[in-house]
Each structure stands twice: as C-alpha cells, then as structure tokens.
Structure 1
Amino acid sequence: MTYLSRLDPDVPCTQVMSEEEGQVLYRIANKTKTLPAKLPTLQESVLALAKLGGFLGRKSDGAPGVKVLWRGLQVFRNVLDTYRFLL
C-alpha cells in the first residue's frame, strides 16, 4: 500500500480494501458518524492508517513507512472487528 500510494496517489482506496473498510477508515480519520460522499484516495487512506500507527504527519516527516503503516493496520483491524460485531 505504501509504495502503490507513492506511485499513484489518486487511485480510490477500493484498489486495496473493500468499500466498507474505506468507509470505516474515513469515519475514524475524520471523527464523524456520517458516511463520506466519495471514498478517500489511496494516499489519504495510507495517511489515515499511518496516523493510527503513530505517524505524526509533520511537514518534515516525509512519507510514512511500512513499519508505521503495519502498526496502523493492526489498530484498524481491531476497530473494524469491533464495528462489525456491533452491527
């Protein structure tokens, strides 16, 4: 995901995740309960996952790496499992 988002950042996030996962990630990243009108791009999704993994996203930080993205994916999977359980 990290390298694909660097090569083509404007692809929809549905290239690597389901629509449901994209919606849940959007809700977490923007701290809202409403569904997005348009799903986020792959680059926006990678940044949201990286922030879940501890990435601060300052100007001088550069692009998130694989390790922080992996941590974010682990947190996201826990949140997604809880979301599915509560439905």
Structure 2
Amino acid sequence: MRLLQLRVLSRQCPDELARAVIPTDIVLVVAHLSGHPAKTMTVQQCWHGIARHGGYLGRKGDGPPGWKTLWLGWMYIQNVLQGMQLASLLSNQLDL
C-alpha cells in the first residue's frame, strides 16, 4: 500500500518534501544511500532512490520503474532499516 501511495505522490506532487508524506526513518535511509540531503529530498527523489536499489537505472530513455523493481528496492530499504534498528537495540543493551 505504501508503494502505491508513494507512486501516486511522485506523479501528482513530485516536488513536495518526502519527509512530509513518508516516514522519517525511511527518508533518512534512502537519503543516506542515495547521497541526497534528507531535509530537502523530494518525493520523486525518494521514489527514484528506492527504485535504484531494486535495479532501476533511470537512464534518459527508460520509462518509470516497474513494480518488481520497486518492490526489490523497498525490501532492500526495509532490510537496511531493520538492521539499523537492531544495531541500536543491541547497542543500548550493551550499555547496561
């Protein structure tokens, strides 16, 4: 559902700030991996950042990313996010 919402937003309002419509933790991961500043990342930049991690090349003649590519990118981002959360949890437990 989140990907469908993101696709619609990337087409209707591509220049809106991603952090206004996408969870902040996802925007931070995509921004870091894509090399864009998270504060100014747009919905379209986030959309393409997710797609690139699924194999989308974004060349001039390429059409929009397909669902399989987006799903692969989304799963990669989710795995990175889960790893960050686990590392934070383990770090907090080691401080006990």
TM value normalised by structure 2? 0.75
Higher helix share: 2
Query: Based on CA coordinates, which of the two structures has the bigger radius of gyration?
Result: 2
Equivalent position of 1:9 in the other structure: 14
Q: How many residues end up aligned between the 2 structures? A: 83
Structure 1 unaligned runs (5+)?
none
Among all aligned residue pairs of Structure 1 and Structure 2, give the percentage whose two residues are the same amino acid: 36
Structure 2 unaligned runs (5+)?
1-5, 89-96
Equivalent position of 2:78 in the other structure: 77
Runs (4+) off by over 4 Å: none
Distance in 1 (alpha carbons) for counterparts of 2:26 and 2:41: 11
1:15 to partner: Cα distance: 4.3
1:70 to partner: Cα distance: 1.3
Compare relative contact order (CA 8 Å, sep 6+) and give the higher one, 1 or 2.
1
Q: 1:37 to 1:75 in 2, by over 3 A?
A: closer
Please, what is the CA RMSD of the aligned residues? 1.8
TM value normalised by structure 1? 0.82
